[in-house]
């Protein structure tokens, strides 16, 4: 019998760019029970949709360009395991630098705010470290403001003259009060006020994919509730570290900071095939 899947894994080199979500697909074959991939120190499960095994891998905006090998582990129904190596080839992205002016208290933090923002950063990174091993989404991913665009993902940023972390999301133009919609179905894992991102909602879509909506004037999502694709998470606003009202929309994939629109533009319709 031809070993379609293993042949496909052997032949696979996936080419992408820094700061992208990339979909990996292998054909199913009889007797395969599960597939997972170890890449960049993370374990990423595949799910069977129709006749293909698929997953989405996050390529962080600061990963070194070049070939990054990974191991694909195939477990058969009889318990046999086979490992094959595959490669994700990462090309560099040219991220521009932007200078921004914000309230000084968001650049030179007082001790209380420093403690608070440090605690919140830990809380968030703990959330992003969890890979829910199933798909919670049920449609293709869509922008939280219909037709919305934001081109400043990955920009190197200088706040009031001080270099800070790169921009890890996309900023979408929005007046205060604009309805913000969940990019897909998922579970609400955070809904509260944070120092830098203001009123913030985080949704777990499964397989390590999280969406984050920041600077909201009002939160409508309820912690631990399932939210549907297109359901309102809140209203746009200007809470936290901002230059004015807008939506900051972030996507993490297994902790990697990726351009949210790389998920929206993902070619395969299989992403919505639940
Ligand atoms: Zn932003």
pLDDT digits (tens, 9 = 90+) for 57-114: 999 999 999 999 999 999 999 999 999 889 999 999 999 999 989 899 999 999 999 9
Give the Å distance between the CA of 26 and the centre of ligand 1.
Answer: 35
Give the Å distance between the CA of 215 and the centre of ligand 1.
Answer: 9
The predicted-structure confidence for 144-187, as pLDDT tens digits, reads as follows 999 888 889 999 999 999 888 899 999 999 999 999 999 999 99
* Model confidence, pTM: 0.93
Copy the structure tokens of residue 55: 């997953």
Give the Å distance between the CA of 169 and the centre of ligand 1.
Answer: 6
User: Which percentage of the chain shows pLDDT scores above 90?
Assistant: 82
Give the Å distance between the CA of 42 and the centre of ligand 1.
Answer: 26
Question: Average pLDDT, stretch 28-54?
Answer: 93
Give the Å distance between the CA of 38 and the centre of ligand 1.
Answer: 30
Give the Å distance between the CA of 89 and the centre of ligand 1.
Answer: 28
User: What is the C-alpha separation between 85 and 96, in angstroms, rounded?
Assistant: 34
Q: List Cα–Cα distances, 75 to 42, 83, 175, 177, 192, in angstroms.
A: 18, 9, 50, 49, 40
Give the Å distance between the CA of 98 and the centre of ligand 1.
Answer: 12
User: What is the C-alpha separation between 4 and 253, in angstroms, rounded?
Assistant: 28
8 Å CB contact between 202 and 211: yes
Cα end-to-end span (Å), the chain: 29
Give the Å distance between the CA of 241 and the centre of ligand 1.
Answer: 9
CA dihedral 107, 113, 115, 120 (to 10 degrees): -90
107 or 252, which is more confident? Answer: 252
Give the Å distance between the CA of 156 and the centre of ligand 1.
Answer: 12
Give the Å distance between the CA of 170 and the centre of ligand 1.
Answer: 6
Give the Å distance between the CA of 129 and the centre of ligand 1.
Answer: 21
226: β partners? 187
Give the Å distance between the CA of 31 and the centre of ligand 1.
Answer: 46
Give the Å distance between the CA of 79 and the centre of ligand 1.
Answer: 46
Q: Is the pLDDT of residue 269 over 50?
A: no
- Sequential DSSP letters for 58-70: EE-TTSPSEEEEE
8 Å CB contact between 159 and 107: yes
Give the Å distance between the CA of 240 and the centre of ligand 1.
Answer: 11
Please give the mean pLDDT across all residues of the chain.
Answer: 92
Give the Å distance between the CA of 211 and the centre of ligand 1.
Answer: 13
Domains with residue ranges and CATH for the chain = 4-91 (2.60.40.1590), 97-272 (2.70.70.10)
Give the Å distance between the CA of 171 and the centre of ligand 1.
Answer: 5
Residue 47, classified by CB atoms within 10 Å of its CB into exposed (0-12), middle (13-18) or buried (19+), is middle
Give the Å distance between the CA of 248 and the centre of ligand 1.
Answer: 4
């Amino acid at each position: 019998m031809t070993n379609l899947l293993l042949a496909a894994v052997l032949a696979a080199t996936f080419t992408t760019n820094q700061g992208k979500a990339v979909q990996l697909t292998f054909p199913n074959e009889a007797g395969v029970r599960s597939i997972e991939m170890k890449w960049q120190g993370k374990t990423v499960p595949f799910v069977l949709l129709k006749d293909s095994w698929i997953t989405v891998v996050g390529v962080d905006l600061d990963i070194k360009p070049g070939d990054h090998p990974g191991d694909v582990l195939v477990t058969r129904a009889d318990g046999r395991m086979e490992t094959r190596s595959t490669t994700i080839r990462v090309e560099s992205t040219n991220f521009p630098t932007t200078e921004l002016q914000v309230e000084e208290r968001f650049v030179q933090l007082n001790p209380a705010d420093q403690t608070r923002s440090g605690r919140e950063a830990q809380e968030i990174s703990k959330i992003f470290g969890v890979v829910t091993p199933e798909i919670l989404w049920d449609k293709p991913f869509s922008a939280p403001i219909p037709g919305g665009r934001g081109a400043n993902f990955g920009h190197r940023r200088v706040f009031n003259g001080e270099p800070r972390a790169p921009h890890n999301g996309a900023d979408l133009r929005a007046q205060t009060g604009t309805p913000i919609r969940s990019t897909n179905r998922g579970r609400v894992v955070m809904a509260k006020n944070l120092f830098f991102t203001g009123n913030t909602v985080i949704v777990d879509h499964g397989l390590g994919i999280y969406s984050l909506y920041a600077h909201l004037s009002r939160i409508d999502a309820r912690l631990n509730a399932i939210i549907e694709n297109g359901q309102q998470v809140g209203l746009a606003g200007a809470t936290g570290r901002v230059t004015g009202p807008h939506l900051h929309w972030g996507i993490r994939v297994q902790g990697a900071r990726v351009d949210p629109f790389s998920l929206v533009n993902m070619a395969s319709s299989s992403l919505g095939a639940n």
